[in-house]
Amino acid sequence: MRPFARGLTAAARVVKMRRPVTQHAGERPRSLEPSWANWRMTLNLNDIAHYIVDVPDFPKPGVVFKDITPLLASPGAFGATVDLLAARIEASGAAEILAIESRGFIFGSAVATRLSLPLHLVRKPGKLPRDTVGFDYALEYGTDRVEIHSGTLRPGTRYSIIDDVIATGGTAAATANLVRQQGALLAGCCVVIELGFLNGRALLDDCPVDSLINYE
């Protein structure tokens, strides 16, 4: 195991958050690190969870949005998050990483760099410049589609899907089905946040889902 993954055993567990932090307009998240001198590995998942704030009624009334921008703004918290994601993806035996548009690109690029693994982008239609293959999936009203460059997914190669959040699971499941369609293998789906009360992981069938923080 690479050096970054050492000492993660105690912290690398799912945190089940029942009382999430709420962020209101104009408020700054509570700082958990007085300076960068606090090495990021001293932060555990409970600490990291404090950088994810609830924004009520966004993007529409009745929805509570999980805002990760304070997490990204903290080098220590973001670095610790990347370390934990990387350790889990390394343990899955993935040979390459698929990052889902668009916040998945942030975590996917950092993890791919940490593990020295190839990174591929999974995007909505019309966003990739070369020939693509795709998979259509149903929405509540209508359909959507995920695409990847043709020839990216190679039969027999193990891919790990990465994103910031899994909610209803539609996009992650479509990405998993795209991998299967091309004859490739699924190492798993790894996310920072899981909205467990929506049970999105059920759509992924035999694809293991690994989340750092689970809101039940």
Which has the closest alpha carbon to 79: 41, 106, 30? 41
CB 163 within 8 A of CB 104: yes
What is the C-alpha to C-alpha distance for residues 160 and 171, in angstroms, rounded to an integer? 14
What is the C-alpha to C-alpha distance for residues 83 and 40, in angstroms, rounded to an integer? 9
Question: Given the structure tokens 């798993």, which residue do they identify?
Answer: 188
Amino acid at 25: A
Query: Cβ of 48: how many Cβ atoms within 10 Å?
Result: 24
Q: How many CA atoms lie within 13 A of 74 on its CB side?
A: 29
Choosing from 18, 28, 140, 216, the catalytic residue is 140
The radius of gyration computed from the CA coordinates of the chain, to the nearest angstrom, equals: 17
Whether residue 103 lies in the annotated active site: yes
Choosing from 101, 103, 145, 180, the catalytic residue is 103
Active site (catalytic) residues: 103, 140
